[in-house]
Structure 1
């Protein structure tokens, strides 16, 4: 099988795309006689420029966002504890954007792309009027400032993504209606994650403003600066003149500087100011991999003398591997109802993903 047939097969199976110019292919022979767009002059894009703007509706996929265990005591002499639930944060969908510009040079194209995304979510649990007790998962019970029992546990998670891709692509028309694009590029990404957890002895005085109450406050941070290369393939299949199906697959690998912070402070009964407990700062360089997938459909809008407009909608998925998780304490409950284990450990769950919808408006001129 020739190399070109291999590319056709791969493109058909993967049905893939990354970033591509609005005028990815003319498909001049792929015409069933129907015309779904509007044309005011019969001309292709003149200078090979393409710009686009995406609205992103993504959800972060992150494990290790638990903050409390609920448990009950059976009333025996040993006061054995039975865990009844694990409380954590489930990130929701938030908005972001992506913009890009590309320049075609025959079958080659060069582009720069920028992605911006922010998300913030929170969760809380209290045992007012309930028969269960609360243990923290971010610190051990022996380290708690709250000695009278936790009445309220709450946690917030925030993530920020800034990403720049500089990319070179090679365009192939594989058949009358099928086009492929091989691409490779350099990626820089800055990802900031924070989780702030509070354990309070009084639901009505969360941060222990009164000296009669107690509180533990945990601040965790995991930042990444990533530098890497990626390669991928995209394919688009034209259905008459009405729309294109597209999809994409790329894999990147690089190195990143990961920094982790853990800050624990609190107030005891009679205290008016916070007392510092554990404070850990660490950083390291590590290898990181990234997988990007997307599929969607493009509708041409019109051609107005050298300007092609198009509207696209689709789904995309991005997965970061070996990213580095939050630094925290052991999160298990032993037979005495205590958080088992002592000392700071790095989380074993350290991957991060994003998935959701994108809506694109692109123009070629």
Structure 2
């Protein structure tokens, strides 16, 4: 009898003092569904929220959650075990809680590969895409590529020695303005840092011009492209019509890899192969007492190595600034032809030239991007500059034919203008 009394007294003490210790670890909580605080040190008997004989639930426990093992509980005088240590999972501190919308692919210096932004689309948001498709509109102007082909002047067709001709009108120049082009490509994502790219660029520019002698019948139009040794009185032209075309086609196959990647800045290198073709075609028709035609054709074909750097930086919200720069070393062949004919002699001059060349192409593009909320779409707008070095240009080739000097023909041709791009990522 005494033993049963002391055992019951010990159980009551454990319940009382264990409950006080437990409440010290958990502040007063709101009773679920009641809107008032649970008093500290509530006894298991007589509580309004738990039926007698049921284990007490602590904050954070789900209904049916396991309680402490039976070894930690002793029978109470009321027949219910004294469960005083709930088996609740540990709660992470606030500093370790991941906020909604967190992008786990921002890995600082390097690439972490720690997931991607699902954007509530089952993991198909911006960072989870596998393919990139894009189309780009180019609006470029060739520079340092103009050709002066005719000029009105007053005086004899074949002037006396040391007696220069007198110009009486505007020089006829074939100089292209801004012309449209396009670029299309596809990128295959290999991993968080690496992608393989295939791209095609096309530019097709051209211009027309006409030069007339004016209202004075004494004036004539003089050819600036005909071979000077063929000048005769029959070349007393009254007008000249010229056409000049310049085109290029480029195919790039690249590997692009990031070496710096965080949430606000990405920088990577580019290494690949480039195939390029450029053509310059000139045709000028002169009309007067007779007719004369001058035509030239220059073509370059090359294949070589491409290298460069790409980068983009967040400038606020869904806006990015980007910069792309690259260089290409293209061993290839340049060929050129010159043909001149007249109404009474269809073949006056017929010559050609061909040589191996290493042409370098330098590209720079700067601009801004607007990215969609999930990163699946983006629109770019920027400025592009390109330089083709060690080329042979049309005016240079014509001068070489006129002087019979084909040494050191080497020029730089540039293109610049605006670019606009739409990109889709899936």
Instruction: Tell me the TM-score normalised to structure 2 length.
Output: 0.64
Q: Which residue of 1 aligns with 2:178?
A: 93
Q: The residue matched to 2:176 in structure 1 has which SS?
A: coil
Deviation track 1:72-111 (CA, whole Å, cap 9, x = no partner) reads: 4599997542456532111022222111111122212111
- Relative to its length, the structure with more strand (as a share) is 1
For 1:143 and 1:348, the matched residues in 2 are separated by 24
- Relative to its length, the structure with more helix (as a share) is 2
Matches within 5 A, 1:204-219: 213-219=289-295
For 2:407 and 2:349, the matched residues in 1 are separated by 14
Deviation track 1:182-224 (CA, whole Å, cap 9, x = no partner) reads: 11111001112100012221xxxxxxxxxxx301101100011
Q: Which residue of 1 aligns with 2:260?
A: 173
- Shift of the 73–169 alpha-carbon distance from structure 1 to 2, 3 Å rule, reads same
Q: Which residue of 2 aligns with 1:152?
A: 239
For 1:161 and 1:185, the matched residues in 2 are separated by 19
Instruction: Tell me the TM-score normalised to structure 1 length.
Output: 0.75
Q: Which residue of 2 aligns with 1:296?
A: 367
Matches within 5 A, 1:1-365: 40-41=120-121, 43=123, 44=125, 45-73=127-155, 80-83=164-167, 86-106=171-191, 107-130=193-216, 132-144=219-231, 147=234, 149-201=236-288, 213-268=289-344, 275-303=346-374, 308-326=376-394, 327-329=397-399, 342-343=403-404, 345=406, 348=409, 350-365=411-426
- Shift of the 147–66 alpha-carbon distance from structure 1 to 2, 3 Å rule, reads same
Q: CA RMSD in A?
A: 3.1
Q: Determine which structure has greater relative contact order: mean sequence separation of CA pairs < 8 Å that are 6+ residues apart, divided by chain length.
A: 1
State the shift of 1:277 in Å: 1.0
User: Which sections of structure 2, spanning at least 5 residues, go unmatched?
Assistant: 1-103, 109-118
The answer (yes or no) to whether the contact 2:107–2:261 under 8 Å persists in 1 is no
Q: The residue matched to 1:147 in structure 2 has which SS?
A: helix
The answer (yes or no) to whether the contact 1:328–1:344 under 8 Å persists in 2 is no
The answer (yes or no) to whether the contact 2:364–2:385 under 8 Å persists in 1 is yes
For 2:361 and 2:161, the matched residues in 1 are separated by 52
For 2:421 and 2:162, the matched residues in 1 are separated by 62
- Shift of the 319–342 alpha-carbon distance from structure 1 to 2, 3 Å rule, reads closer
User: Which sections of structure 1, spanning at least 5 residues, go unmatched?
Assistant: 1-24, 30-38, 202-212, 269-273, 332-340
Aligned length: 305
For the pair shown, which has the larger CA radius of gyration, 1 or 2?
Answer: 2
State the shift of 1:41 in Å: 3.4
